[in-house]
A and B are shown apart, each in its own frame.
Chain A
Amino acid sequence: MTSTTAILREIAARLLSSGAVEMVIGFRPGTIPMMNEPCFVRTPAEVGHLVWDSHCGINLANYLTDRKEKIGIVAKGCDSRNIVTHILENKIRREQLVVIGVPCRGMVDKRKIAMKCPGEITRVSETASAITAEGEGFSRTFEKADVLQHNCSLCIHRNPVIYDELAGDLVEEQQGVDRYADVRAVEAMTPEQRWKYFEDLLAPCIRCYACRNACPLCYCPTCFVDESRPQWVGKGQDPVDVRTFHFLRAYHCAGRCTDCGACERACPVGINMRLFTKKLEKDCLELFGWEAGLSLEARPALDQYRPNDPNDFIR
């Protein structure tokens, strides 16, 4: 049990028994290794379910939408930015929340580990900087830095931006990270190459919508892809429909996406759809100096007008 887990349980027990919150949202171990799942704890007796390790990649802000009760929520840097976005978009009130911040050192990508192991992984343990995966007849140890989720290795907001409680010391933020090398690589291509590139990227998509469901930004009561009157986009595997889905999904996240990586993590076929949202994130930063979810005071880039907004594209 890591010390963060112990602190989390202590905080959760205190908040629940004092009546400060009715529920704590955190993580518990999943049924298979490296697949921690969200966990709603409602009584002090249940806080033993809560854990914290390098497999807590799911974005818990997703479970706050339109809740009415007082909630304690475990929040990494990215979760906290999505909580801020939720508050700005009136999907939850700040007064309802006790944010239990967890300074984060990155979450590991289970695919990277699974690919380097010869069989099914049945047990995973970790130290501060290493992950050990074990299975039938094998044991492999990895440097955590080598198996981080891609978005975590590029993360520059590891500490929660808002918190009421803190489960651990703040960590040093990564400096000098080149966040957009992959986007620039696409930008350097010709239109033909780009079309082909995204065609290949999206070819395995089975339209399961796991990326949408995992995303804390996707809370519309009826998603445009599910609507049938009018039917905005075909529901099949036609490449044009698949691309329309991914393209529009990304656009709905413009100026809101925190690159938490929940979409990519949830994808059963390993599509890096973050290449769409990261382009929008990069544009927001370069054109409007905007990074989503950093402050409760600032209004989002698509929410305010400034006379010097770039408008060269309008003739």
Chain B
Amino acid sequence: MEHMGVEPGRLQFSWISSAESTKFVTVATQVTEAVRALGPNRRFMQPPLAEVA
């Protein structure tokens, strides 16, 4: 994805067990912050159908 121009950090991977609740919270928070810092996604976006019609 990054090779074709999606910003580094927008796509993230993690492996979290259902028992690792704190890790889930930590990762979810970090991902949210990282993506928020990148701003709204402008790529891989299609206009909503209502606007097209």
Contact = CB atoms under 8 A, between A and B. Distances in A.
A240 interface: yes
A195 B12 contact: no
Contacts of B3: 186-187, 194, 276, 279
A191 B6 contact: yes
A240 B46 contact: yes
A238 B5 contact: no
Nearest to B38: A191
A247 B8 CA distance: 17
A229 interface: no
B4 A276 contact: yes
Nearest to B4: A198
B2 interface: yes
A247 B2 CA distance: 11
A197 B5 contact: yes
A315 B23 CA distance: 10
Contact of B5 (A196, A244, A279): A196
Binding site secondary structure of chain B: loop
A192 B46 contact: no
A243 B4 contact: yes
Q: How large is the interface on B (under 10, 10 to 19, 20 to 34, 35 or more residues)?
A: 10 to 19
Contact of A195 (B5, B8, B13, B46): B5
Contacts of B1: 247
B4 A314 contact: no
A305 interface: no
Interface string B13-25: 1110000000000
Contacts of B5: 191-198
B13 A313 contact: yes
Interface in A85-106: none
B34 to A, nearest CB: 10
Contacts of A243: 4, 44
Given A313-B13, A314-B14, A240 B4 contact: no
Nearest to A196: B5
Contacts of B45: 240
Contact of B13 (A191, A196, A197, A314): A314
A225 to B, nearest CB: 16
10 contacts: A186-B3, A191-B2, A191-B6, A195-B4, A196-B5, A240-B45, A240-B46, A244-B44, A247-B1, A276-B3
The 3 closest A-B pairs by CB, nearest first: A195-B5, A194-B5, A198-B4
Interface of B: 1-8, 12-15, 27, 30, 43-46
Given A193-B5, A276-B3, 12 more contacts: A186-B3, A191-B8, A195-B4, A197-B5, A234-B46, A240-B44, A244-B44, A313-B13, A314-B14, A314-B15, A315-B13, A315-B14
